[in-house]
Each structure stands twice: as C-alpha cells, then as structure tokens.
Amino acid sequence: MKTIYESFSEDDTASVGAALAAKCRGGEVIKLSGGLGAGKTAFVKGFVKNAAENSADVVSSPTFSIMNIYSGTKFPIYHFDTYRVKNSVEFEYSVGLDYFEGNGVCLVEWAEIIEDVLPCTAISVFIENDPSVGGDYRKITVTFPD
C-alpha cells in the first residue's frame, strides 16, 4: 500500500514521521531515502517525538556514529545513518543484522546503501524535493509491502 503526503515545512515532515510511529508495534524496519537535506532526519525526529519515553530526546543525525538508540514507550528505536558505510558487507561486519530481526523499530537513513540486507517486509519512506513547487516542499511516499 502506497500513501503520498505533501510537506511544506520541516514540521510537516516530522508530523508524517509521528503518524507512522503511532502505527508501529515494534519489529518494523523503516527505510528512508531521498538524498542529502531531503528531510530524513526531520522525519525521524517526529517519529521519536511520538514514540520515545522522553519526548525531549534530542535527535541528531547519527552520521558519525552509524546508530543512535532511543528508548520508546512501546519499543526501542534504532536510528541508523549509513551515509558513510561503503556497502552491506561493511555494515554487516561492523554493526551486524540482529537489530533488523529484533523487537525494536529500526529507521535507516540512506537505506539504499544496505538494501540487500534489509528485510523485504521493510516499510519504505521516499522523500523528494520539487523546486518548481517551492524550496521547502517535499513529496513523501510511504510504502507498506503487500
């Protein structure tokens, strides 16, 4: 099932993330793609705000740490950024794949880099710019596999 959202601000994008968090039960893997500055981290911020035990948790890009962990009210949240990971082999070697089979929710920025080791049940979030509409405009496509 595919749903398209239109976002006109960072807050709008965060709200789409928060709405997805409300639907999660634990065990989901969420793939985020869309290029640098698309709004992947903004989406995760909204997700964490909805689902975290401490909604004041500050979400930052885990680019330099590969993963940040937030404790959620319903499930732990694992936030990955694989921008600096070469490929899935390197990811599997350094981080491992256990998180994708656990009870937490995994949100993976730059998911396309490690696509081949992500479960086929993963939910995909694709964020696109469209400068012809406006600099802050984003089209967000959320796809749940059939």
Q: Which of 119, 144, 125, 120 is nearest to 47 (CA)?
A: 125
Give every CB contact of residue 96 below 8 A, 6+ residues apart in sequence.
Answer: none
Q: Are 128 and 138 in contact (CB under 8 A)?
A: yes
The sign of the dihedral angle between the CA atoms of 125, 44, 50, 29 is: positive
Least CB distance from residue 123 to ligand ADP, whole Å? 17
**Out of 28, 30, 40, 50, the residue judged to bind ligand ADP by CB under 6 A:** 40
Residue 10 makes contact with ligand ADP by CB under 6 A: yes
The answer to the question of residue 128 lying near ligand ADP (CB under 6 A) is no
DSSP 53-76: SSTTPPP---TTTSEEEE-BSSS-
For Mg ion, the closer of residues 63 and 121 by Cβ is 63
Under 8 Å between Cβ of 78 and 104: yes
Footprint of Mg ion on this chain (CB under 5 A)? 40-41, 61, 109
Q: Which is nearer to Mg ion, 80 or 100 (CB)?
A: 80
Among the residue ranges 31-39, 67-75, 84-92, 116-124, the one whose residues contact ligand ADP (CB under 6 A): 31-39
Q: Which of residues 77-116 bind ligand ADP (CB under 6 A)?
A: 109
Of the ranges 6-14, 22-30, 47-55, 66-74, which one interacts with ligand ADP (CB under 6 A)?
6-14
Q: With the C-alpha atoms ordered 11, 13, 19, 21, is the resulting torsion angle positive or negative?
A: negative
Binding site for ligand ADP (CB under 6 A): 7-10, 12-13, 34, 36-42, 61, 109, 136, 138
